[in-house]
Chains A and B, each alone.
Chain A
Amino acid sequence: MLGDYFKTGLRILIRQKGYTILNIAGLVLGISVFTFIFLYIQSEIRYDKQWTDYNNIYRVTSEYSVDSKVEKIALTPFRIAEDFRNMFPEVVSTTNMFFTDPSDINDVSSVTYNGKVYEIPDITLSGQNFFNIFDYIFTEKSSDSVLSEPNTMVISSEIAKKIFGNESAIGKKLSTVVREYTVVGVFKKKCHPTHHNFDAIVSVSSLEKKGLARLKKDWYWLTCYTYIKINDSVNPDNLASKFNSYADLRRSKLSGEEQLDFDGYFINKLEPVHKVHFNTKLQYDSPSNIDISYLYIFGIIAAFILLTASINYINLATARSLKRAREIGIRKVIGANKKQLITQYISESVILTSVSFVLALSLVELMMPQFNQLVGKDLTLVGSIFSGEGIVFGIILLIMILTLAIIGGSFPALVLVSFKPSTVLKGNYSIMHKFGNFQFSAGLLRRFLVTVQYIVSIGLIIATFIIYAQMDFLKSHDLGFDEENIVVINTPDDTTFHNRFPEFFDALADNNTIANVSSAMNVPGYTESKMLFYVGDTLEQNIQTLNFYNISYNYFKLLNATIIDGEHFKPDSYLNNENYFMINEAAADFLDLDTAVGTVLNMPYKQSFKSGKILGVVKNFHFSSLHRDVEPLVFLLNPNDIRYVLVKFNKGQDEEAIHHIRNVWDEYNKGSFLHYTLLETKLESLYKGDNNMLSLFFYFAIFVIFISSLGLYGLTSFLIQQRTREIGIRRVLGGSEIQIISMLAFVYLRVVFIAGLISSVIVYILMQNWLNTFAFHISINGWYFVFGITITLVIAFATVTIRSFKVVKEKPSVSINYSG
């Protein structure tokens, strides 16, 4: 019997091609987008959950306040890993990993093997405990305790493949400009999703002894990420407070230059490692971290998209069922009972949803490369579904589809089978009357469902407008300096090269495409440093923590930043062994100085103090993303500490300029690659997350409006089916085509309009919240709402018109005799 149901069901679906395609298309799109969003969310929440005992692994973070200004930082002093391990028995193991600037994608290290230079994007330092806590999968290793020996290194399998091909990497020697390392292990970088982002780790014991000794002593120098693994029963908050008491005591016993006497506190906190990925509040943290509220938003959108598709499905199934009243009547007369009829309807529904399900998953598989590109991930459908919670998702999705099939099948069936066959068989006009009560309540339900669909559609359209406008605003916002036509070059940590800097700069400048050359440790858009400053002549009072830039001559000139008080660093400022500072307006305001110029600043710097006068005040410019306000910033003239070379070229001569830079680079840096970024590109990358959100919203908006339009198309079919005779009569009585189309359109356009109003209020509140995450943002304009609602109304009107056109064009003599 069941086989017969399927056979009949299939035939009916093939016969009613239009309906079937419409219904399958909506479902396929809905399920696909839902699956994509699920895969994305799943890949995000998996971060750092694959490590053995991940629940017992914590990252130690730092928080300090100076003069009531609180700073939260992902880094800690190096020593505390050892303190935790030695002083607290509840701690099983600890490790730390050095900070490498993750915001600088050009911060690449070069290694030499067999006389050939290779690049490793991110090398950090750590110890043997690291892999005890984080059980990375090793493809090969020399022993179980890699990184225990000095001058050893582990590398990712990608790097190993690049350098050694298919040969074993173990025991091979890689040299940097500093020393030679032996490869002791090869790990799989992508074995688990994690906030770590290194391609190689060098053993921390490789550091020169003096430097290491200093790291082991310092209580304030925030240099590395620290991770601890604790026993099951330990309460992390208690452990943190015990540790803080211990550390406070130790710090209070420090003396001399080690002692920092400031008005505030310094504490460490423990954060579960699997929550690191969702922490965006800390400075110097992994750039892959995201705000978890995005996931909630995506989850809600995914649910709405699936809901929209399901609503369509049920609406279309109900609409179609009227056409089949007669068939059901015949079956009842012949002797079919309710159960048999409902089973038949559900069978058809199951076929339809199963086909959609299979097609949707095929579509997901097909579109996976594009999706991966869009979200910057490396997901696979099989990998996601057939693992861990993926199976649960697969089962949940399957249950949802079956539920939908059953609701979509039984809803119309229950209505139809309750009719008397004698009524159904008599003719269709009377069915419509019999439908009366059902239609009234179902009609209300349908309108409610359509309203929900359009609230989501319009909301996404308006939100996309607002995000776009904000992104456009960011692009055109005056940063307070000229970011155009500037190349930022990364320099290797090579003393020989550093000694030749003056010549190198002269050679760079010696070209008519180059306007200016400068150098610095810090550049706008890149990570800034934080330093403690003693303001005034004594070291006793007024200690402040401020953003800090190490820069060289020409810096402000090159950036075209305005000096509003005092003067530029002079070319000889540095030579007479004196230190000179400049500050920005925000720092002058923050420090509340009557006369900034001439004020003395002191700062601890590399085991000593640098003391000097403020030479001038720079007009505020945006040195970080516009999410942040311009913060106080201190510049130190320090041409010796250089990480970046900045080259400003003449407008329109970028190709020639880069050609020239490359030539000069090759001359001074044989065997080392040139890594550079356009400053503009770097600044744009600060909004990568926001831009991703823009494109995701854009696509979501298109999907939702498309699915909603499919639904509206189906509902219009329903409406027309019910009112064909009425349309005929109206035409006979002289109603014009446009009058009749408008009449049909008005039924749902009214709903769309109301949805638009509701949506506007919700979107206004949500988007205002989002805009508030920027220190600089647009104000929400009424036109965004007008455009959003108008566009949706136009699409809805077009949908209704397309569907009604045929019936309205029909000769009234045909439609007036229409019988369903």
Chain B
Amino acid sequence: MIETFELTKKFVTEDIETIALRNVSMNVEKGDFIAVMGPSGCGKTTLLNILGTIDDSSSGSYKFFGNDVNDLSERQKTDLRKKNIGFVFQNFNLIEELSVYENIELPLQYLGWKRKDRKKRVDEVIGQLNISHRKNLFPVQLSGGQQQRVAIARAIIANPALLLADEPTGNLDSAQGEEVMSLLNELNKAGTTIIMVTHSQRDASYSRRIIHLFDGQIINENLNKMI
């Protein structure tokens, strides 16, 4: 599903060049659940952003379902993203002006779904995630765990092939974190491919594969012992 070959990302300021990713080559199969781990500043989020097409690599290739993402225009990337990729962030990134329902509905709007279809799908997902009773609330009225549930609902609303999660439990207490992780686990079992950046060994334990990054390079890749 995903193939990267020697992905490199450099940040250049006036006099310093920082290399965030160095020759990262990896394959992701459909149905995978990968945890990306490593110390702060090792390039985890940069890698996730490039995989999510919200950032570009400086060199190397990135193929998504066999198509070279580097060849795509900004418009095509947007298109690819909204049809195939869902995002979950550490700080949830919900739009405060929109209600729970409207936040979840948003990707479908951008996909051009009809109102009736959108309603049907949103109702289905919020039922699945058990947040139906909160659909008219606004993000500030929810706890962190609840907000992350909403963010996950929004991420999966369009049935993406790939779910990218950037420290999804980073802002949550352990109980809420546990809850979110089991939710991701269920989604993976149902067929969603997940790539998750995390600091937490416990969260990583839910994955099938762990990739360790250090200074922008993959230093270790192993199948999770738990499985």
Point out residues on A near B: beta carbons under 8 Å: 1, 4, 8, 11-12, 15, 326-327, 329-338, 340, 420-423, 425
Q: How far is the CA of A12 from the CA of B79 in the complex (A)?
A: 27
Closest to A1 in B: B109
Contact in complex: B110, A330 (CB < 8 Å): no
Q: How far is the CA of A327 from the CA of B102 in the complex (A)?
A: 14
Q: B98: which A residues are within 8 A, CB to CB? A: 8, 11
Contact in complex: B95, A327 (CB < 8 Å): yes
Q: Mark B106-120, 1 if CB is under 8 A from A, else 0.
A: 110111000000000
CB within 8 A of A425: which of B89, B96, B111, B158?
B89
Contact in complex: B55, A334 (CB < 8 Å): no
The 10 closest A-B pairs by CB, nearest first: A335-B82, A422-B49, A422-B55, A335-B110, A421-B54, A422-B54, A330-B93, A337-B78, A11-B97, A334-B107
Q: How far is the CA of A8 from the CA of B111 in the complex (A)?
A: 18
**Given A326-B93, A327-B97, A425-B89, A333 and B52 contact (CB-CB distance below 8 Å):** yes
Judged by DSSP, the binding face of B is: helix
Contact in complex: B81, A333 (CB < 8 Å): yes
Point out residues on B near A: beta carbons under 8 Å: 45, 49, 52, 54-56, 74-75, 78-79, 81-83, 87, 89, 93-98, 102, 106-107, 109-111, 154, 158
Contact in complex: B95, A331 (CB < 8 Å): yes
CB within 8 A of B97: which of A12, A340, A422, A425?
A12
- Give 14 new A-B contacts, CB below 8 A, not counting A11-B97, A425-B54: A1-B109, A8-B102, A327-B95, A329-B93, A330-B95, A331-B95, A333-B81, A335-B79, A335-B81, A335-B83, A335-B111, A336-B78, A338-B75, A422-B49
Cβ distance A284 to chain B, nearest Cβ, rounded Å: 68
Q: A334: which B residues are within 8 A, CB to CB? A: 82, 87, 106-107, 110, 154
Cβ distance B136 to chain A, nearest Cβ, rounded Å: 13
Cβ distance A324 to chain B, nearest Cβ, rounded Å: 9
Cβ distance B45 to chain A, nearest Cβ, rounded Å: 8
Cβ distance A216 to chain B, nearest Cβ, rounded Å: 83
Closest to B93 in A: A330
Q: B107: which A residues are within 8 A, CB to CB? A: 334-335
Contact in complex: A333, B154 (CB < 8 Å): no
Contact in complex: A331, B97 (CB < 8 Å): no
Contact in complex: B109, A4 (CB < 8 Å): yes
Contact in complex: B97, A333 (CB < 8 Å): no
Q: How far is the CA of A327 from the CA of B97 in the complex (A)?
A: 9
Q: A4: which B residues are within 8 A, CB to CB? A: 102, 109
Cβ distance A435 to chain B, nearest Cβ, rounded Å: 15
Q: B83: which A residues are within 8 A, CB to CB? A: 335
Q: A11: which B residues are within 8 A, CB to CB? A: 97-98
**Given A334-B154, A337-B75, A420 and B54 contact (CB-CB distance below 8 Å):** yes
Q: How far is the CA of A420 from the CA of B50 in the complex (A)?
A: 11
Task: Find the residue from A1, A335, A336 having the highest chain B CB count within 10 A.
Answer: A335
Q: How far is the CA of A768 from the CA of B26 in the complex (A)?
A: 79
Q: How far is the CA of A338 from the CA of B94 in the complex (A)?
A: 19
Closest to B74 in A: A338
Q: A330: which B residues are within 8 A, CB to CB? A: 93-95
Contact in complex: B54, A336 (CB < 8 Å): no
Q: How far is the CA of A425 from the CA of B49 in the complex (A)?
A: 11
Closest to A7 in B: B102
Q: How far is the CA of A429 from the CA of B52 in the complex (A)?
A: 23
Q: How far is the CA of A332 from the CA of B55 in the complex (A)?
A: 12
